[in-house]
Amino acid sequence: MANENAFLSKLFAKLKKVKHIEVYAVIFLAIVVMAIWLFPSGGSKQTSIEQSFSTTTTAEYAKSLENRLNSVLSAIDGAGSVQCMITLDGEIERVLAYSNDEKNSSTQNTTSNGTTNKTETSTSNKEPILITVNGSSEPLVLYEIMPDIKGIVVVASGANDVRVKLDILKAVQALLNVQSSQIEIFVKGNN
């Protein structure tokens, strides 16, 4: 124990002599955090590059919204069994990463009568960045812009109660940031 304390004391004394040790410590911690973020543990998780391949379809996005809305609305007091359908205005827009190669050149010519002509040319080549994972090449998707919600239909067994219907309307407006004119609420039948 005494040897360990002496060793630690010597180590800390040496570290105190290093200039800007705080900067080195912060850089080291930043590298560790980035490594954890880029390479998460566990075999089932995808890296950020692999996630760019699993882009969402419009139908999957709508279904995800519907499922989440169903679970929230069914928790409203008196709502009972709830089913939702969401229609979207358009498709998901994907913003890709591009590499931009620009070349500028300038030529200067002197004619026989002594005048000088200067010609400048500029070329730009913009190509999407491709990433290969598991033998498949796909463009790198920076982010996706989801389409606006066109309309929502909610069918709830408790929608015959005006208070429940109003609570459902308020919840849908708050969750999806839509106008009341885009929402229709109906009483669920006994099927």
Burial class (CB in 10 A: 0-12, 13-18, 19+), 125: exposed
pLDDT tens track for 65-123: 999 999 999 999 999 999 999 999 988 888 888 887 777 777 777 777 777 777 787 77
Domain spans of the chain, in order of start: 2-45, 55-94+142-187, 97-137
pLDDT one-digit tens code per residue, 162-182: 999 999 999 999 999 999 999
Dig out the tokens for 93 from the structure. 């827009």
d(CA 154, CA 83): 6
- The letter for the amino acid at 103 is K
Q: Does domain 55-94+142-187 have CATH number 1.10.4100.10?
A: no
For residues 23 and 30, is the Cβ–Cβ distance under 8 A?
A: no
pTM: 0.55
